[in-house]
C-alpha cells in the first residue's frame, strides 16, 4: 500500500472568499489538488504545503486518539 501524505491548502473560492487550513491526505500532491478542486469547484489554489510531523504542531490524527483512549480503557 502506498504511503499517504497530508497536504495543507489555502484557497480562494469562486465567490472570492479565502479558506485556510484545508487538509487532504493523498498519495501525491496532484491527487490532493484534484480532491480540493472536486470539493471547491472553480477555486484558485493559493498555497499548498506538505504537512510533516515537524510542522503539524500539537495536532493529533484520529487513529492516534483512538489508540490513546483504548490504552486508557485497558488500564481501568
What is the predicted pLDDT for the residue at 70?
Answer: 73
What is the predicted pLDDT for the residue at 4?
Answer: 87
- Using a pLDDT cut of 70, give the percent of the chain over it: 72
Grid cell 490513546 in the structure block, residue: 68
* 45-63: average pLDDT: 72
- pTM of the entire structure? 0.64
pLDDT class of 54 with cuts at 50, 70, 90: low
What is the predicted pLDDT for the residue at 17?
Answer: 95
Grid cell 483504548 in the structure block, residue: 70
The answer on pLDDT for 32 being more than 60 is yes
Q: State how far the Cα of 76 lies from the Cα of 60, in Å rounded to an integer.
A: 23
Q: State how far the Cα of 66 lies from the Cα of 76, in Å rounded to an integer.
A: 16
User: How many other β-carbons are positioned within 10 Å of the β-carbon of residue 39?
Assistant: 11
Amino acid at each position: 500500500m502506498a504511503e499517504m501524505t497530508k497536504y495543507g491548502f489555502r484557497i480562494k473560492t469562486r465567490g472570492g472568499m479565502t479558506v485556510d487550513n484545508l487538509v487532504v491526505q493523498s498519495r501525491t500532491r496532484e491527487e490532493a489538488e484534484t480532491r480540493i478542486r472536486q470539493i471547491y469547484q472553480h477555486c484558485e489554489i493559493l498555497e499548498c504545503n506538505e504537512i510533516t510531523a515537524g510542522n503539524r504542531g500539537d495536532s493529533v490524527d484520529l487513529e492516534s486518539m483512538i489508540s490513546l483512549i483504548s490504552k486508557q480503557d485497558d488500564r481501568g
